């Protein structure tokens, strides 16, 4: 059977009090609408249509890499109207359409699959995702008859017996596409708000003798985000899920309440993560690593048995058995080899550092290729920028760079060479050489007395 999905992402989100469209607020580092899109994809839905409205161009920009189509809801006239705006997407199609909301990022892949399978197996024209909660105040109630859904009754319209019902509408659905299109043409907006409600489609289908079912899932999955408070609640729920998944896979998380891991992060077994770490984007941390407190790692690959202390690593690659930090900063396009040492207050940008090389402290390396087995003294600076352009420094294997050295790019330091402390290197250093580029020391006897500076 052909299957597609519509994601409603046109809402204004007034309670968010933000210039950012509501669905673009992030939960665990990813925009809410992209959570939903990725979940739909993982559930096997390839043909996705996102209904955009307020901030449409921003939403399109943030979702363009997901290969979705768009429908525009220029006026906010209800959920039924939103789906009406996707008529062109559905036109001529036969099969199943899943309808979800872009502000409900906690829905699980397995729940989407279960909803579609249930819908298909039972031969329903519509299937509603529902939850059972102790206090359903304010929610539309599901009224069943012989297991099928008879109707959805809004809380304000419930009679005494309906108020006792605890099964509520989660606002997520599966529809037979042809049945949905036919019903959309019959929707009315004769209500106080003058809006078209998708829930009214259920009544239209029932009036035609169509079959409507409901699948119960955990309420937590269906929570929509309409305020900053609810955004924080969604963050906590998803953070807990993510951390529990990694712990179940053999990762030690010392304090899950204070460890922040993005949903797309991969972590190998026997890695130990201390509190205060933020691991973001598509980071991959392989097995046996130790992340001591308070690092930020984003879109990076950390190989096996790496130790990281209180550092920032962005879009970089760190080789096996290397140590990083404390207080190191690896900027994008940095690649560190195996058994290397990147120490305290070291910044590396767009550079390759070879195996067994030590950059222990207070050093800046930018736009450089560094070989294996090198040693950098404290206070080394690769001077890669002349005010207009960036240039490259190349350092061979087993080079020793003395303390307080400036390497003025473009320059090359050959294999097995030494640079004396305090040197400013502007020319190539030949292999096996010692380079000294500093003024000779001069002592002027009696200078303090002559100047009258003696205390």
Query: The CATH number of the domain where 171 resides is what?
Result: 3.90.550.10
Checking 187-193 for CB contacts under 8 A at 24+ apart, the result is: 187/80, 187/84, 189/77, 189/78, 189/81, 193/78
Q: What is the per-residue pLDDT for 27?
A: 98
264 has a pLDDT exceeding 80 = yes
Q: Cβ atoms within 10 A of the Cβ of 276, count? A: 17
The average pLDDT across 232-237 equals 98
115 lies in a domain?
Answer: yes
Query: The CATH number of the domain where 378 resides is what?
Result: 2.160.10.10
Considering the domain architecture, whether residues 99 and 35 belong to the same structural domain is answered as yes
Considering the domain architecture, whether residues 114 and 19 belong to the same structural domain is answered as yes
Q: Are 45 and 68 in contact (CB under 8 A)?
A: no
101 lies in a domain?
Answer: yes
Q: What is the per-residue pLDDT for 191?
A: 80
Considering the domain architecture, whether residues 205 and 324 belong to the same structural domain is answered as no
Q: What is the per-residue pLDDT for 194?
A: 87
Q: What is the per-residue pLDDT for 108?
A: 98
228 lies in a domain?
Answer: no
130 lies in a domain?
Answer: yes
The average pLDDT across 69-89 equals 95
Considering the domain architecture, whether residues 201 and 285 belong to the same structural domain is answered as no
Q: What is the per-residue pLDDT for 445?
A: 95
417 has a pLDDT exceeding 90 = yes
Q: Are 316 and 334 in contact (CB under 8 A)?
A: yes
Domain termination residue (choose one: 222, 257, 291): 222
The pLDDT confidence band at residue 438, using thresholds 50, 70 and 90, is very high
Which listed residue (25, 35, 119, 361) is catalytic? 361
Considering the domain architecture, whether residues 185 and 254 belong to the same structural domain is answered as no
Considering the domain architecture, whether residues 124 and 201 belong to the same structural domain is answered as yes
The average pLDDT across 22-28 equals 97
Considering the domain architecture, whether residues 261 and 387 belong to the same structural domain is answered as yes
pTM: 0.92
Considering the domain architecture, whether residues 42 and 123 belong to the same structural domain is answered as yes
- Which of 33, 99, 29, 23 has its CA nearest to residue 54? 23
Lookup result for tokens 């308070």: 294
Q: Which tens digits make up the pLDDT trace of 289-345?
A: 999 999 999 999 999 999 999 999 999 999 999 999 999 999 999 999 999 999 999
Residue 154: domain span: 3-222
12 has a pLDDT exceeding 90 = no
355 lies in a domain?
Answer: yes
Domain termination residue (choose one: 180, 203, 222): 222
Q: Which tens digits make up the pLDDT trace of 151-185?
A: 999 888 889 999 999 999 999 999 999 999 999 99
Considering the domain architecture, whether residues 270 and 342 belong to the same structural domain is answered as yes
Number of domains in the chain: 2
Q: Are 401 and 413 in contact (CB under 8 A)?
A: yes
Query: At residue 101, what are phi and psi to the nearest 5 degrees?
Result: -110, 140
The pLDDT confidence band at residue 405, using thresholds 50, 70 and 90, is very high
Q: What is the per-residue pLDDT for 190?
A: 86
Reply yes or no on whether 361 is catalytic: yes
Considering the domain architecture, whether residues 213 and 269 belong to the same structural domain is answered as no
410 lies in a domain?
Answer: yes
451 lies in a domain?
Answer: no
Q: Are 15 and 8 in contact (CB under 8 A)?
A: no
Q: What is the per-residue pLDDT for 286?
A: 98
Considering the domain architecture, whether residues 273 and 362 belong to the same structural domain is answered as yes
The pLDDT confidence band at residue 11, using thresholds 50, 70 and 90, is confident
Three-class SS of residue 287? coil
Residue 155 DSSP code = G
192 has a pLDDT exceeding 80 = no
Q: What is the per-residue pLDDT for 157?
A: 85
Spatial CB neighbours of 107, under 8 Å, sequence gap ≥ 6: 36, 39, 100, 172, 221, 222
Which H helix or E strand runs over 359? strand 358-366
The average pLDDT across 192-197 equals 87
311 lies in a domain?
Answer: yes
Q: What is the per-residue pLDDT for 377?
A: 97
Q: What is the per-residue pLDDT for 156?
A: 86
Measured between its terminal Cα atoms, the distance across the chain in Å is 94
Domain termination residue (choose one: 179, 207, 222): 222
Provide the mean pLDDT of the chain: 96
Considering the domain architecture, whether residues 254 and 213 belong to the same structural domain is answered as no
């Amino acid at each position: 059977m052909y299957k597609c999905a519509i994601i409603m992402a046109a809402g204004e989100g007034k309670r968010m009090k933000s210039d950012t469209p509501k669905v673009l607020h992030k939960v665990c580092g990813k925009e809410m609408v992209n959570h939903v899109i990725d979940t739909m994809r993982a559930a096997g839905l390839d043909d996705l249509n996102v209904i955009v409205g307020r901030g449409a161009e921003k939403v399109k920009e943030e979702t363009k890499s997901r290969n979705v189509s768009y429908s525009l809801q220029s006026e906010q006239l209800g959920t039924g109207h939103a789906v009406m705006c996707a008529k062109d997407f559905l036109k001529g199609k036969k099969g199943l359409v899943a309808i979800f909301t872009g502000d409900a990022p906690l829905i699980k892949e397995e729940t989407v699959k279960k909803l579609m399978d249930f819908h298909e197996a039972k031969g329903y024209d519509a299937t509603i995702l529902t939850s059972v909660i102790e206090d359903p105040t304010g929610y539309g109630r599901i009224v069943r008859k012989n297991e099928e859904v008879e109707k959805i009754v809004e809380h304000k319209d419930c009679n005494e017996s309906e108020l006792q019902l605890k099964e509520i509408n989660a606002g997520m659905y599966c529809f037979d596409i042809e049945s949905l299109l036919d019903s959309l043409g019959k929707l009315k907006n004769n209500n106080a708000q003058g809006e078209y409600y998708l829930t009214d489609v259920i009544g239209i289908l029932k009036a035609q003798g169509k079959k409507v079912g409901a699948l119960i899932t955990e309420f937590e999955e269906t929570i929509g985000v309409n305020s900053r408070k609810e955004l924080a609640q969604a963050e906590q729920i998803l953070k807990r899920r993510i951390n529990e998944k990694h712990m179940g896979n053999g990762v030690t998380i010392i304090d899950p309440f204070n460890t922040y891991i993005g949903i797309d992060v991969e972590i190998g077994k026997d890695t130990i993560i201390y509190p205060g770490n933020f691991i973001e984007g598509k980071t991959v941390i392989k097995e046996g690593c130790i992340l001591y407190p308070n690092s930020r790692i984003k879109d990076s690959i950390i190989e096996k048995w790496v130790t990281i202390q209180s550092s920032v690593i962005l879009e970089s690659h760190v080789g096996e058995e290397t140590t990083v930090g404390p207080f190191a900063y690896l900027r994008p396009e940095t690649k560190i080899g195996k058994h290397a040492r990147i120490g305290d207050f070291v910044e590396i940008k767009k550079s390759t550092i070879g195996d067994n090389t030590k950059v222990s402290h207070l050093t800046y390396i930018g736009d450089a290729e560094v070989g294996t087995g090198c040693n950098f003294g404290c206070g080394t600076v690769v001077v890669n920028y002349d005010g207009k352009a960036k240039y490259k420094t190349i350092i061979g294997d087993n080079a020793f760079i003395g303390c307080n050295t400036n390497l003025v790019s473009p320059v090359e330091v050959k294999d097995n060479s030494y640079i004396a402390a305090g040197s400013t290197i502007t020319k190539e250093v030949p292999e096996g050489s010692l380079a000294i580029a500093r003024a000779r020391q001069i002592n002027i006897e009696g200078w303090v007395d002559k100047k009258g500076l003696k205390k």
